[in-house]
Amino acid sequence: MTVKNIEIYDTTLRDGAQAEGVSFSAVAKVQIAKRLDEFGIATIEGGFAASNPKDMEFFRLIKKETLKNSKIAAFGSTRRANIAPEDDKGLAALLEADTPVCTIFGKSWLLHVTDVLQTTAEENLAMIADSVRFLKEHGKEVIFDAEHFYDGYKDNPEYALSALKAAADAGADCLVLCETNGGALQEEVAQITAAVVNAFDIPVGVHSHNDGELGVANALAAVNAGAVHVQGTINGIGERVGNCNLSSVIPNLMLKMGLDCLPNAENLKQLRALSQFVYEQANMRPFTKQAFVGDSAFAHKAGMHVDGVRKVPHSFEHINPESVGSKRRILISELSGASNVFLKAIEMGLELDRKSPEVRDVLKQLEQMEKEGYEYESADASFQMLIKKVLKKHQSFFELESFSVTVDRQGATPGCRSEAKVKLSVKGESIEADGSGDGPVDALNHALRDALSQFYPTIADVVLRDYSVRILDPEEATAAKTRVLIESGDGKATWGTVGVSENIIEASWEALVDSVEYKLFLEEEKTRK
Shortest distance in whole angstroms from residue 227 CB to Zn ion = 16
What is the Cα–Cα distance from 64 to 85, expressed in whole angstroms? 29
Shortest distance in whole angstroms from residue 209 CB to Zn ion = 6
8 A C-beta contact, residue 260 and residue 5: yes
Q: How far is CA 259 from CA 2, 3, 207, 265, 480, in A?
A: 10, 6, 18, 10, 57
Q: Which is nearer to Zn ion, 176 or 362 (CB)?
A: 176
C-beta nearest to Zn ion: residue: 15
Q: How far is CA 232 from CA 56, 196, 222, 250, in A?
A: 21, 20, 13, 10
What is the Cα–Cα distance from 392 to 10, expressed in whole angstroms? 49
- H/E stretch holding 310: helix 303-311
Q: Which is nearer to Zn ion, 208 or 336 (CB)?
A: 208
Q: Which is nearer to Zn ion, 15 or 419 (CB)?
A: 15
The 3-state DSSP class for residue 405 equals: strand
CB neighbour class for 529 (10 Å; exposed up to 12, middle 13-18, buried from 19): exposed
Shortest distance in whole angstroms from residue 259 CB to Zn ion = 22
What is the Cα–Cα distance from 363 to 212, expressed in whole angstroms? 44
* Residues counted in the chain: 529
Shortest distance in whole angstroms from residue 18 CB to Zn ion = 8
Shortest distance in whole angstroms from residue 147 CB to Zn ion = 8
Q: Which is nearer to Zn ion, 76 or 85 (CB)?
A: 76
Q: Which is nearer to Zn ion, 222 or 299 (CB)?
A: 222
What is the Cα–Cα distance from 88 to 304, expressed in whole angstroms? 65
What is the Cα–Cα distance from 474 to 477, expressed in whole angstroms? 5
Shortest distance in whole angstroms from residue 15 CB to Zn ion = 4
What is the Cα–Cα distance from 508 to 204, expressed in whole angstroms? 55
8 A C-beta contact, residue 175 and residue 154: no
List residues bridging with 431 in a β-sheet: 424
Q: Which is nearer to Zn ion, 42 or 309 (CB)?
A: 42
Q: Which is nearer to Zn ion, 29 or 483 (CB)?
A: 29
Shortest distance in whole angstroms from residue 472 CB to Zn ion = 46
Q: Which is nearer to Zn ion, 15 or 151 (CB)?
A: 15
Of 467, 468, 456, which is closest to residue 489 (Cα–Cα)?
467
Shortest distance in whole angstroms from residue 56 CB to Zn ion = 21
The 3-state DSSP class for residue 294 equals: coil
Q: Which is nearer to Zn ion, 74 or 511 (CB)?
A: 74
Shortest distance in whole angstroms from residue 45 CB to Zn ion = 10
Please count the other Cβ atoms lying within 10 Å of the Cβ belonging to residue 502. Answer: 13
What is the Cα–Cα distance from 276 to 263, expressed in whole angstroms? 21
- Which residues contact Zn ion (rule: CB under 5 A)? 15
What is the Cα–Cα distance from 291 to 287, expressed in whole angstroms? 9
